[in-house]
Amino acid sequence: MTSELPRILLVDSYDSFTYKSVATYTFQAVQLIISNSLASLCRKAIPNSQVHIIKNDDTNLADLQSYLPYFSAVIVGPGPGSPDVPEDVGLVKDLWNLDDPHLLPVFGVCLGLQSLALEHGAALRRLSVVKHGQVSTVEHTGTDIFKGVGPVDAVRYHSLHVELSGAKNIEELASTHDAENGRVVMAIRHSTRPFWAVQYHPESVLTQGGGIEIMLNFWRLACAWSSSHGRVTRPWDQMADGVFGTPWPYTRPPPSTPRTNTPLASSTIKLSIPGLSAPDICEVLGVDDDSSPFVMLESAAQPGRFTIIGCLTSTSLRVTYSIGDNFIHLANGESCDQIDLGSRDVWSWLTSFMNKRKVIGGSPEIPFWGGLIGYLSYELGVESLRVSGEKIHTEARHPDVNLVFVERSIVLDSTSGNIYLQSIMEDDDEWLTEMVVQLHSAARNYSTYSSFNASPSSTKARPNTSTIILPDRDHYRSRIDMAKEYLFAGESYELCLTANTRITLNDPLAPKASSTYSPSWQRYKHLRELNPAPHAAYLRLHPTTLLASSPERFLSFSRSPGATYQLRPIKGTVRKGPNITRAVAEKALRGSRKEVAENLMIVDLIRHDLHGAVGENVEVKQFCTVEEYKTVWQLVSVIEGKPADDADQAASHYANGALGWEVLRRSLPPGSMTGAPKKRSVEILRQLEDEERNVYSGVFGYWCAGGGGDWSVTIRSCFKYDDRYECDAHSWTKFNNPDFYPGVHEPEHWVIGAGGAITALSDPDAEWDEMLTKLQSVLRVFGAAVPRGH
């Protein structure tokens, strides 16, 4: 090899795509998720390595061969499916048959090992008991890629394995032994060609001893082979650069047009008014007027801390977008404009929208100064994965993006008890002063009369006035069985299966929605009492109303410079009950191989996602901790990433949180709601689930115009669509029209989604029960309970 920097080609078997010729296709910036942690491991082991990632079907070998001379070695990543299915392995299969002039060192992982072995005559078998996210002790020869390596405990993600008895030129380097499967091959090498491979996942967070050590040895052996065979890497040139572009990690360029307008200044007043709750404040602000939009993100339980209430005005801008449209709606209380997206997507449109609205000077103690609040649907995330199979329906869709730009807000800090009134509108002191008076006066009133916002009994449906359509038990169980078939076949490691419950409320005697009474607000107050949650929300963004009591943060990002990106996936749920103490829950969750494996798989998936979005600095800060919620115990992990310094600086200078927005775009839909690997799992789930998920399984939260953001997973929530609100071209007048409420009774149609992660170890009855437990936490707000054993 020459003094050129080591160039590694990482072939990702994440999924299949139609073939694109190298001649016409550049590989840069494609949606690659699964290989990012492997790329990171590679960069840690091989100093200064330049890792270029392609997918296994981005090209064919004939084309790729002309580029192989630029690379020092190839790494072949893991993937769903089977090595004997051409679409699953793509060009990987051909790498093992390179002719001598093109030969170069190759390192295979999992599917990569299986493909190498199969190509040389090994037999492919299914494991008797599949191993997904499970740690096994690996016994090795201590030679070759294991030279100098001590004990190895490695994470396995496989349903298939190879038997080497009929294989030619393949030597076994390591194996494991488990009670269910007996001896299973864990590492191999080719006896004459420079090919090595491991069956386990060296990049998993729980793999010990067999990660970086193996990669280092591979690199040492690769260099030795190249020099003994006189192989010299071709110097990188413009042509290669044109095809492969920037190596991983892809740095995010700052927006091409730096912000030119003056930042908005935040004015803040800090108050301490004991006894005034978040719902009290909402009522002072007019939440009872059902025809007006209203937003509150509430920390209604630990570990949540801040509650953010939007004080919307008739000029507050609403942004809505539905998949399939090439426009967004931008509306306020007076008008509604349809804005053509042109060549942009909704994500980049919102980036420029926020780029013009940078806010400075807010209180550093609080995370929100003003900005976008609302939700993003599950399908919006799915769309950016470009999954194959049935298309997302685009006709008459409800909004997939539904946000409001909040200029006046109230933030409550539950730790200090402080209340922050703030505005980013120009010369808004009058409003601030007026609000101070109103809040003080409300506090006096509420302490004189007992708080008037206790939830009224009117949220309970009277007998025979509600219809609840629960998922069908047998159908759900049959879907669990089908999901397990996919897992046994190696198509996925974990699938988060969900189903919708529909509630229709049709009580002509119930109080009607009006400008002084909001049934959905009353229902929300009931929900926050029944299921107080750290990520609660009341979002009345017509046509959608969302009531959330989620325990799960998806992504929060702090302001640049020094921004961190934190994800907090939950996997592992135990229903609370009189005998379920913390010790019992710890045993059932942390002590359970099944629950820890479920959580680990999502942690590994999120590490991939975050590596893909922020680059190298990704750390698991907390692994599998048991947290207590109102109705359940949950197993929670925390993963944090930091952007590279230059990207962080650029983010703080130009784009007020655009980097966080980019991380969000690249990590949706939430891995805890899909399973792993993400893309194939989403495709399978679309086969298994009968309906779209819509708001459920997406995220809700905020993007602060001062730079931070916090988005929660939309679970333990219910939503409804109100078709009366439409953004007819250029008119949004219905919002403002006091006569609009005809005062007639209209039925309400609510949806609650619930589900859980299915793994090969899942018991269908227990999974059904777990789904009901989650459903129950919200269904009770309708005065309904699911009978056990339903």
Ligand X SMILES: C=C(O[C@@H]1C=C(C(=O)O)C=C[C@H]1O)C(=O)O
**Binding segment (CB under 6 A) for ligand GLN, from list 77-85, 393-401, 470-478, 555-563:** 77-85
Is 704 assigned a catalytic role?
no
Distance CA 201, CA 38 (A): 9
Residue 434, H or E segment: helix 429-448
Shortest distance, CB of residue 535 to ligand X, whole angstroms? 12
CB of 173 or CB of 626, closer to ligand X: 626
User: Which of 52, 132, 203, 608 is an active site residue?
Assistant: 203
Closest listed residue to residue 309, CA positions, set 521, 143, 10: 521
Contact 137, 152 (CB under 8 A): yes
What is the distance, to the nearest Å, from the Cα of residue 525 to the centroid of all Cα atoms in its chain?
Answer: 28
Shortest distance, CB of residue 29 to ligand X, whole angstroms? 29
Shortest distance, CB of residue 767 to ligand X, whole angstroms? 9
479 is a site residue for ligand X (CB under 6 A):
no
77 is a site residue for ligand X (CB under 6 A):
no
**Interface mask toward ligand X for 651-690; x: CB under 6 A:** ---------------------xx-----------------
Of ligand X, ligand GLN, none, which one does residue 706 interact with (CB within 5 to 8 Å by kind)?
A: none
Kindly state the number of chain residues that form the binding site for ligand X, as judged by CB under 6 A.
Answer: 17
Beta strand segments in 231-345, E: 264-265, 267-271, 294-298, 306-310, 318-321, 327-331, 336-340
Given the DSSP bridges, would you call strands 617-628 and 565-567 parallel, antiparallel or unpaired? Answer: unpaired
Shortest distance, CB of residue 74 to ligand GLN, whole angstroms? 16
Contacts of 238 (CB under 8 A, 6+ apart): none
**Complete DSSP assignment for 697-758:** TSEEEEEETTS-EEEEE--SEEEEE-TT---BTTB-GGGT-TT--------EEEEEEEEEEE
190 is a site residue for ligand GLN (CB under 6 A):
no
Of 346, 366, 715, 718, the one binding ligand X (CB under 6 A) is: 715
Exposure on the CB side of residue 15, measured as CA atoms within 13 A: 21
Of 71, 146, 157, 661, the one binding ligand GLN (CB under 6 A) is: 157
Distance CA 184, CA 161 (A): 7
81 is a site residue for ligand GLN (CB under 6 A):
yes
Closest listed residue to residue 72, CA positions, set 213, 244, 224: 224
Contact 619, 612 (CB under 8 A): no
Distance CA 187, CA 498 (A): 37
Site for ligand GLN in 483-542 (CB under 6 A): 490
Distance CA 670, CA 672 (A): 5
CB of 159 or CB of 656, closer to ligand GLN: 159
User: Which of 52, 132, 201, 542 is an active site residue?
Assistant: 201
552 is a site residue for ligand X (CB under 6 A):
yes
204 is a site residue for ligand GLN (CB under 6 A):
no
CB of 204 or CB of 564, closer to ligand GLN: 204
Of ligand GLN, ligand X, none, which one does residue 78 interact with (CB within 5 to 8 Å by kind)?
A: ligand GLN
Torsion of CA 130, 136, 142, 148, to 10 degrees: 130
Contact 231, 1 (CB under 8 A): yes
Residue 516 buriedness (CB in 10 A; 0-12 / 13-18 / 19+): exposed
CB of 111 or CB of 541, closer to ligand GLN: 111
Shortest distance, CB of residue 597 to ligand X, whole angstroms? 12
Of 116, 570, 658, 760, the one binding ligand X (CB under 6 A) is: 570
Shortest distance, CB of residue 51 to ligand X, whole angstroms? 31
Of 73, 75, 89, 110, the one binding ligand GLN (CB under 6 A) is: 110
Distance CA 613, CA 14 (A): 17
Tell the residue number behind the tokens 């999502």, with chain if given: 602
Contact 683, 389 (CB under 8 A): yes
370 is a site residue for ligand GLN (CB under 6 A):
no
160 is a site residue for ligand GLN (CB under 6 A):
yes
Is 42 assigned a catalytic role?
no
572 is a site residue for ligand X (CB under 6 A):
yes
Is 552 assigned a catalytic role?
no
544 is a site residue for ligand GLN (CB under 6 A):
no
221 is a site residue for ligand GLN (CB under 6 A):
no
Question: Which parts of this chain interact with ligand GLN (CB under 6 A)?
Answer: 78-81, 110-111, 157-160, 490
Give the residue numbers annotated as catalytic, written as ranges: 110, 201, 203
Rule CB under 6 A: which residues touch ligand X?
496, 498, 552, 570-573, 672-673, 715-716, 753-757, 774
